Amino acid sequence: MTRMGSAGEHAEMPWGIDSLDAPAALGFSPAKSPVRLWKEIVDRLDLSRPELGERVKGGTSSHWSRVIETLLRGHYAVRTGYRLQRTKQSRHAEHPWMLGGWADHVARSAQVELLMCLSVGSSEVALWCDEMPLDIRACALHELVVASAKAIDVMVLLGGRDLQVHRVRVEPRAVGELVAREAAFWECVQARRPPSADIALDSRVLLDLPIERIDNEFLALRSCS
């Protein structure tokens, strides 16, 4: 996923929890603990520094991820006939520390409002064998909540070979749980108090999300093997 909009636009946004932070804040990131995320946010707040640096710059791998994700968006638009609109980083109306903007807006569709494209390397393909990983579910649900949307399509190219498309629908209980847990994490940020282990979201909340595989609509990019 690549951030939408320009660096200048994001520098004006307050620090908060976006969809890439959500898995760590909720205890589902395979690469970052809630305490590590808390420390990163607190350090930047205390130093009055924007959070852009490391995410905007990226390296060779993130460059090619952006290229592939752009191709996926184009393929999605052609196959569905929907018009995609890049979204700027936004804030939840009631919870301003919840940030969105990593997903495209899907126009002219009565079924889905958002699209999130991912390129997954061969080392992580196994994580997608049975179902969508919990950290990606957390990302998708966070975007749905911030946008007040009902459904998001997650298009992922696995190892450059296999295309999966998952339609994630919002679920009221999951929304309430996610907002409550992220609010608890943000309270720890404001109080400069490390989050405790019980701040994590119950995995069953994400596992129970209504998710539908709609790969058949996008066969042109699927593996032939």
Please identify which residue in the block is written with the tokens 């399509």.
Answer: 153
pLDDT of 113: 96
CB atoms within 10 A of CB 206: 26
Q: How far apart are CA 206 and CA 208, in angstroms?
A: 5
Whether 127 contacts 119, CB under 8 Å: no
Q: Under DSSP, is residue 194 helix (H, G, I), strand (E, B) or coil?
A: coil
Q: Look at strands 151-158 and 114-120 and give their pairing.
A: parallel
pLDDT of 218: 78
pLDDT of 85: 92
pLDDT of 184: 96
pLDDT of 142: 97
pLDDT of 117: 96
Residue 27 backbone dihedrals phi, psi, to 5 degrees = 90, 25
For the chain, domain boundaries:
7-221
Please tell me the CATH code under which domain 7-221 is placed. Answer: 3.90.320.10
CA separation, residue 106 to residues 103, 112, 165, 166, 208 (Å): 9, 7, 15, 15, 24
Query: What is the mean pLDDT of each successive set of 10 residues along the chain, which is 225 residues long?
Result: 39 73 96 95 75 47 84 93 88 92 91 95 90 96 96 95 94 96 96 91 95 82 43
